[in-house]
């Protein structure tokens, strides 16, 4: 029989190794993924079309476009056409005619356009790059209840997103408006990287909504969504498996050396 002190040392070594593996796995999960959303599509097409975007690591992002049924952002969501351009994703709503630039942008001139993104799992969106064709102020939500599909969004509205598991980004946790959430009345018409996790609150979900500023009293926002960055949230099953491995290491060490 091994001396008790030596067995305790081996047990501690096994536990330390398992903890190290857990830490390494956690760091691997924290890698930020970037999706490039550019392309070369027509200015208009069938409403409700779906786009998919693979990242360099193979992670897939899906997207569809919607607009509101009225001009103040309070109406129901209605499917729109989602186009990919050199500056990023844009929306041609049913009222935008042929989608001639800049009506093919995510805009709040007329109805309020929005793009709904679906991640392959739970993600923490960290930032989004906006290409301006007007102002770049926007409204954003993250979250989503289980069971949601793209079809579920037709008939929802901004006022019902909370009941469907969404959290709105505010100036406290994201750089939604020009110059640190203070709207620049002079313009704000410049390309920019907008932060979505400025205070490290790690708001997460499988769905992300980015739309032109819905409550703008003087609608002037027109932009394309060029890139999206996000961090994968470790799945409970992965953490459970690592925890089981940690426990098994300790039990094996105890059985082997006592």
Backbone angles phi and psi of 119, in degrees to 5: -90, 165
65/106 Cα distance (integer angstroms): 9
Task: Domain ranges for the chain, please list them.
Answer: 4-25+238-257, 32-235
Query: Cβ contacts of residue 55 below 8 Å, gap of 6+?
Result: 33, 34, 35, 61
- What's the confidence (pLDDT) of residue 185? 47
8 A C-beta contact, residue 199 and residue 114: no
Burial label for 115, CB within 10 Å (0-12, 13-18, 19+), is: buried
- Given a cut of 70, the residues of the chain with pLDDT beneath it are 1-30, 178-188, 236-258
pTM score, whole prediction: 0.81
Residue 174, both tokens: 């994201």
Tell me how far the alpha carbon of residue 88 is from its chain's centroid.
15
- What's the confidence (pLDDT) of residue 28? 46
Write out pLDDT tens, residues 110-151: 999 999 999 999 999 999 999 999 999 999 999 999 999 999
- What's the confidence (pLDDT) of residue 165? 98
- What's the confidence (pLDDT) of residue 6? 52
Tally of CA atoms within 13 A in the half-sphere of 95 that contains its CB: 14
- What's the confidence (pLDDT) of residue 238? 43
Residue 196, both tokens: 């979505």
- What's the confidence (pLDDT) of residue 240? 43
Q: Is the dihedral of CA 70, 75, 77, 83 positive or negative?
A: positive
8 A C-beta contact, residue 25 and residue 232: no
Domain 32-235: top CATH class: mainly beta
Torsion over CA of 181, 185, 186 and 191, rounded to 10 degrees?
30
- What's the confidence (pLDDT) of residue 180? 58
CA angle 217–170–120, rounded 5-degree value? 115
75/53 Cα distance (integer angstroms): 29
Cis amide leading into 102 (omega within 30) = yes
10/162 Cα distance (integer angstroms): 51
Listed residue (163, 88, 86, 77) closest to 116, CA to CA: 77
110/73 Cα distance (integer angstroms): 9
């Amino acid at each position: 029989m091994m001396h008790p002190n030596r067995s305790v040392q081996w047990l501690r070594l096994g536990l330390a190794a398992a903890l190290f593996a857990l830490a390494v796995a956690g760091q691997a999960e924290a890698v930020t993924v970037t999706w490039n959303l550019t392309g070369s599509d027509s200015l208009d097409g069938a409403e409700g079309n779906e786009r998919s975007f693979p990242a360099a690591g193979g992670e897939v992002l899906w997207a569809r476009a919607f607009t509101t049924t009225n001009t103040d952002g309070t109406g129901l969501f209605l499917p729109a056409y989602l186009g990919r351009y050199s500056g990023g994703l844009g929306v041609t709503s049913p009222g935008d005619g042929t989608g001639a630039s800049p009506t093919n942008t995510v805009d709040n001139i007329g109805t309020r356009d929005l793009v709904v993104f679906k991640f392959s799992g739970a993600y923490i969106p960290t930032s989004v790059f906006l290409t301006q064709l007007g102002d770049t102020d926007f409204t954003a939500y993250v979250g989503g209840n289980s069971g949601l599909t793209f079809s579920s969004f037709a008939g929802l509205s901004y006022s019902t997103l909370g009941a469907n598991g969404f959290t709105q980004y505010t100036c406290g946790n994201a750089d939604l408006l020009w110059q640190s959430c203070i709207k620049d009345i002079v313009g704000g018409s410049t390309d920019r990287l907008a932060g979505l996790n400025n205070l490290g609150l790690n708001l997460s979900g499988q769905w992300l909504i980015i739309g032109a500023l819905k409550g703008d009293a003087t609608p002037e926002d027109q932009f394309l969504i060029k890139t999206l960055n996000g961090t994968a949230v470790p799945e409970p099953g992965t953490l459970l498996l690592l925890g089981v491995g940690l426990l098994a290491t300790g039990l094996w060490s105890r059985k082997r050396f006592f």
